[in-house]
Amino acid sequence: MLFNSAVYLFAFLPTALVVYFGLCRLRWISAAQGWLVLASLFFYSYWKLEYLPLLLGSLVVNFLVGQELARPRAARSDVPRQWLLGGAIVANLGLLGYYKYAHFLADNLNALTGAQLDWPQVALPLAISFFTFQQIAYLVDSYRGLTREYDFLRYALFITFFPQLIAGPIVHHHEMMPQFARRRNWVIHSGHVLTGLCIFAIGLFKKVVIADGFAPWADQGFDGSQALGFYEAWVTSLSYTFQLYFDFSGYCDMAMGAALLFNIRLPLNFRSPYQALDIQDFWRRWHITLGRFLRDYVYIPLGGNRGAAWHTGLNLFLTFVIGGLWHGASWMFVIWGALHGAALVLHRLWQATGLRLQRWLAWLLTFLFVNGAWVFFRAPSLDSAWRVLRGMADWRGALGPAAADLPTAAFAWGGWSVDLWLRWLPPALVAQLPQYAALAAAAFVLTRGHAGRLMDAPPRWHTTLACAVLLGVAFYATLASTSTVFLYFNF
């Protein structure tokens, strides 16, 4: 079920909220939590019912293994804990690999060896990457003695809680489980409702107005076959850069807002990432919970920064190659991850020199690198990526053709004002000016902070009014157009 669909906005979410707090008011806390689990399973299976048994089986098996790993020494079975943990991780990754990577591996083996492996294309179960990572983190923490004894109901609620089930944030057990047990969270808090609705409104507006507004420009450039001029290529790449940010941060804002209606605070996943001054700063701001997972469960187990400088660099590079592959079974994601891994290694070498760039130059270089790397992340093939990058690098095409060589329709947007623009700007740029104006407006919005600030301080009346306007516009956009799937549903 999509957060930006009418059935979610006007039926599912209000019903889940009313029934949950109604049961809590009667002091039927277990029933209320059970209701949330059932509602979350309905939310998950609304897309495709056949995915539900996989999620349920994963829940049961991982809960039992976690319980065994967390037992006191005297009560443990004879199976060595290292073997139990290793077997459980291999089983989780094996399941993920079967659905997400088996066909990719078969194709590459066929290409390398000339074999004729015919592996069927299996539909990717919704959210399998997210709930697999979340449960692996729980198992590792259980092995380390960092978890308590939780019953199955609360564990199921931790994994399936619908605001964060499909695309994160990737949460730890200690961030979620204690919140459901607090008595003060069993009653409606008007402040949480107001703040949650404001954050949800911002996220919905980001998705249905801004992200979906950029989507056609990005799709036209990446999915087409024609050569792209300088301005067309930059509009294509920047459109996807902003589409991806507003789509995923919009989802995360809606997840935070919906969770807060239930008095649950989800961790912040974005903190104005395009304001970063270096690539390390970018990853402290972008998809924060994924970066945290990769650090704690990939980078540190590989050795982190405990070895020689070359070994630390290798650990960084491998971590981000794995992070790229996590997004999907494609060499394009591997290239994207490798680019970021290499950039982080170079950043560490730069830091060791003690040199510093001016802030504006540091920001510009970081943003240009991130924008260029997103080309590989979005492009369906290497040829498509080079087509966009070639256009972006075609400085000679910046002036472009004369106005007389461009179709009249390209200037219809401005009416009489086009003549004024053509006096000062190249015709090819004037033809793309509406898109650039939208990109500039998006960049302005990006500098206005993030939802975490609303979480820290209740919204004032003017903020509430602004959010109400955003919510009204977003509702209208939702009802007036076909809802589109969030980009991270594909991962």
For the stretch 319-370, pLDDT in tens is 999 999 888 888 999 999 999 999 999 999 999 898 899 999 999 999 999 9
pLDDT of residue 78: 65
Model confidence at 263, pLDDT cuts 50, 70, 90, reads very high
> How confident is the model over 441-469, as a mean pLDDT?
69
Cα(230)–Cα(392) distance, integer angstroms: 5
pLDDT of residue 204: 87
Instruction: Flag the least confident range among 3-17, 107-121, 268-282.
Output: 107-121
pLDDT of residue 91: 92
pLDDT of residue 145: 81
396 against 10, higher pLDDT: 10
Catalytic hit among 192, 327, 340, 450:
327
- Is 463 buried (19+), middle (13-18) or exposed (0-12) by CB count in 10 A? middle
Instruction: Flag the least confident range among 88-97, 364-373, 482-491.
Output: 482-491
438 against 310, higher pLDDT: 310
> How confident is the model over 377-393, as a mean pLDDT?
93
Transcribe 274-343 into DSSP letters.
Answer: GG-SSHHHHHHHSSHHHHHHHIIIIIHHHTTTSS-HHHHHHHHHHHHHHHHHHH-SSHHHHHHHHHHHHH
Cα(85)–Cα(69) distance, integer angstroms: 8
Please say if the pLDDT value at position 476 is more than 80: no
| Residue with token string 């966009």 | 388
Residue 459, Ramachandran bin (φ over 0: left; ψ between -120 and 50: alpha; else beta) = beta
Please say if the pLDDT value at position 445 is more than 70: no
Please choose, from the candidates 382, 381, 385, 352, the residue with its C-alpha nearest in 3D space to the C-alpha of residue 371.
385
Please choose, from the candidates 318, 365, 363, the residue with its C-alpha nearest in 3D space to the C-alpha of residue 337.
318
Tokens of 78: 């004879």
Cα(154)–Cα(172) distance, integer angstroms: 13
Whether the CB-CB separation of 101 and 326 falls below 8 Å is answered with no
> How confident is the model over 268-281, as a mean pLDDT?
92
Please choose, from the candidates 318, 285, 277, 327, the residue with its C-alpha nearest in 3D space to the C-alpha of residue 300.
318
Q: What does pTM read for this prediction?
A: 0.86
CA distances from 71 to 75, 146, 148 (A): 6, 12, 9
> How confident is the model over 102-115, as a mean pLDDT?
81
Cα(381)–Cα(228) distance, integer angstroms: 16
pLDDT of residue 328: 84
pLDDT (tens digit, 9 = 90+) per residue, 128-161? 888 888 899 889 888 888 777 678 898 999 999 9
pLDDT of residue 87: 92
Does residue 90 sit in helix, strand or coil? Answer: helix
Backbone angles phi, psi at 9, to 5 degrees: -70, -40
pLDDT of residue 484: 67
Please say if the pLDDT value at position 268 is more than 80: yes
- Calculate the CA 69 to chain-centre distance: 30
> How confident is the model over 192-213, as a mean pLDDT?
86
Cα(403)–Cα(428) distance, integer angstroms: 8
Quickly count: other Cβ atoms within 10 Å of residue 420's Cβ.
11
- The pLDDT mean for the chain works out to 85
pLDDT of residue 16: 95
Instruction: Flag the least confident range among 220-229, 302-311, 440-449.
Output: 440-449
Q: Based on the residue annotation, tell me whether 327 is a catalytic residue of this protein.
A: yes
Residue 459 preceded by cis peptide, ω within 30: no
> How confident is the model over 80-84, as a mean pLDDT?
85
276 against 399, higher pLDDT: 276
pLDDT of residue 309: 86
Cα(249)–Cα(267) distance, integer angstroms: 12
pLDDT of residue 399: 62
432 against 403, higher pLDDT: 432
Cα(468)–Cα(198) distance, integer angstroms: 7
Cα(194)–Cα(389) distance, integer angstroms: 45
Model confidence at 56, pLDDT cuts 50, 70, 90, reads very high
Percent of the chain scored above 90 by pLDDT?
A: 35
CA distances from 411 to 127, 371, 418, 430 (A): 44, 28, 7, 7
Q: Where are the domains of the chain?
A: 6-188, 194-486
